[in-house]
Amino acid sequence: MARTFASTPAAHAQSLKDRMAELIPKEIEEVKAVRAAYGNKSFGEYTVDQAYGGMRGIKGLIWEGSVLDADEGIRFRGKTIPECQAELPKAPGGSEPLPEGLFWLLLTGEVPTQEQVQGLSQEWAARAAIPKFVEELIDRCPNTLHPMSQFSLAVTALNHDSAFAKAYSNGVHKKEYWKTTFDDSMDLIAKLPNIAGRIFRNVYGDGKLPAIDANKDYSANLATLLGFGESKEFVDLMRLYITIHSDHEGGNVSAHTGHLVGSALSDPFLSFAASLNGLAGPLHGLANQEVLRWVQKMRAQIGEGASDDKVAEYVWSTLKSGQVVPGYGHAVLRKTDPRYTAQREFALKHLPEDPLFKLVGQIYKIVPDILLEAGKAKNPWPNVDAHSGVLLTYYGLHHQDFYTVLFGVSRAFGVVSQLIWDRALGMPLERPKSYSTAAIKKMFEGK
């Protein structure tokens, strides 16, 4: 059984909001100092090709929670994934970090105490209920509507009760924006398990949903709502899954979109719904669904226990038909994604003999050389999406169309952390300059 938080309330532990209130004035001063010292430094030159090429490599965003190194991978407030696994609080009996702790870390840069993560679990459980009309909205969606579209609709509708939107229309001072952004963000994270669980049970089950348990941590509740709460290993997988999928600096589509939409002072529900719509694309979060489909199609075509040559042939056939190999490549990373490695280690510990895991391992040996030989992809190594589906499938969550919803639940942690800081630091409306091809010709012709 998933471990429950027993009877010690976190009443005397400092709350996250109180800690933020202490940190924000210091950070405002820090940003002022950085801008005074380096504000007129060049961030580097960039070319017309970069404007046509999806702005790769252009440094144009501030993102406090995490920074991605091309070779080393992600660091959350300076900590690698293995460091987070070692240092963040765990539930008694659990061996993966609690996402509650990661959220605290993303916001404050500090590792919380056991009591503080317990306080967050309890607060999220207390805020978890979703309005009746949102339940009905989800229930009225046809089962054929993709779970990500249902997810995005439901999150958009939560804006009905946005504390930020209400405060704004009541004329709140801009210095206070972060407070209601924080409240909405806590509500948003808290309500996601009920939304995800309801979509899952409607699409794949009988629509009946168990209640949130105020004594359980966030991942245990999410697992229960999905129907997998009895498996201690699945609950631990959810903790790891949410932690590693939470944040991947600011330039990826979902993070950047949330930040962009938030810069118009759209509330966290509207901003995060926009993130979800970006996450639902196959080059971004939907890749986890695509990977499992691709791997299963491969298995159906070449059979179980196929030779390396057969696997290689299948990979080449994918490339030759003008498709990407899902789960491989990355816009920033140039090595194996440590989020892939963390999931591989989980699999080696819990399901080393699983045939699908073995196939995923075999693909890992074969694909990078092929992508290098094909000569197009700048990064031939696997990303996070190459591994998540096999773990979920092993525990019985084989509903591929749902995978990106779990990614979305996780990504909320990173997106709202930055939204809170955006409002605390008074970040302005985002508005880069664009040009037409004709304008570029005019600018450079004859020069």
Ligand X SMILES: CC(C)(COP(=O)(O)OP(=O)(O)OC[C@H]1O[C@@H](n2cnc3c(N)ncnc32)[C@H](O)[C@@H]1OP(=O)(O)O)[C@@H](O)C(=O)NCCC(=O)NCCS
Catalytic residues: 284, 330, 385
Least distance (Å) from ligand X to the CB of residue 277?
A: 16
**What mask, x for binding ligand X by CB under 6 A, covers residues 196 to 235?**
----------------------------------------
**What mask, x for binding ligand X by CB under 6 A, covers residues 239 to 278?**
----------------------------------------
Q: Which range binds ligand X by CB under 6 A, 68-76, 115-123, 267-275, 323-331?
A: 323-331
Which pair of tokens denotes residue 132? 């009746």
- By CB under 6 A, tell whether 283 contacts ligand X: yes
356 to 385, contacts with ligand X by CB under 6 A? 376-379, 383-385
Least distance (Å) from ligand X to the CB of residue 405?
A: 16
Give, for 74, the enclosing helix (H) or strand (E): strand 73-76
* Residue 65 or 101 having the CB closest to ligand X: 65
Among 287, 415, 416, 424, binds ligand X (CB under 6 A): 287
- By CB under 6 A, tell whether 326 contacts ligand X: yes
In the complex, residue closest to ligand X by CB: 329
Least distance (Å) from ligand X to the CB of residue 379?
A: 6
How far apart are the C-alpha atoms of 352 and 348, rounded to whole Å? 5
* Per-position DSSP letters for 56-72, written without gaps between them: TT------SSEEEETTT
| Residue 401 half-sphere exposure toward CB, CA atoms < 13 A | 13
With CB under 6 A as the rule, give the number of residues binding ligand X: 19
- By CB under 6 A, tell whether 329 contacts ligand X: yes
- By CB under 6 A, tell whether 338 contacts ligand X: no
**Residue 75 backbone phi and psi in degrees, to 5:** -125, 125
Strands 73-76 and 66-69: antiparallel
Distances (CA, A) of 347 to 171, 243, 307, 338: 52, 16, 22, 14
The closest alpha carbon to 292, from 189, 391, 171, belongs to 391
Among 324, 366, 425, 427, binds ligand X (CB under 6 A): 324
**Residue 68 backbone phi and psi in degrees, to 5:** -105, 125
Least distance (Å) from ligand X to the CB of residue 334?
A: 10
Least distance (Å) from ligand X to the CB of residue 332?
A: 8
- By CB under 6 A, tell whether 99 contacts ligand X: no
- By CB under 6 A, tell whether 442 contacts ligand X: no
The closest alpha carbon to 14, from 116, 120, 126, 118, belongs to 116
| Residues within the interface to ligand X (CB under 6 A) | 283-284, 287, 319, 324-331, 376-379, 383-385
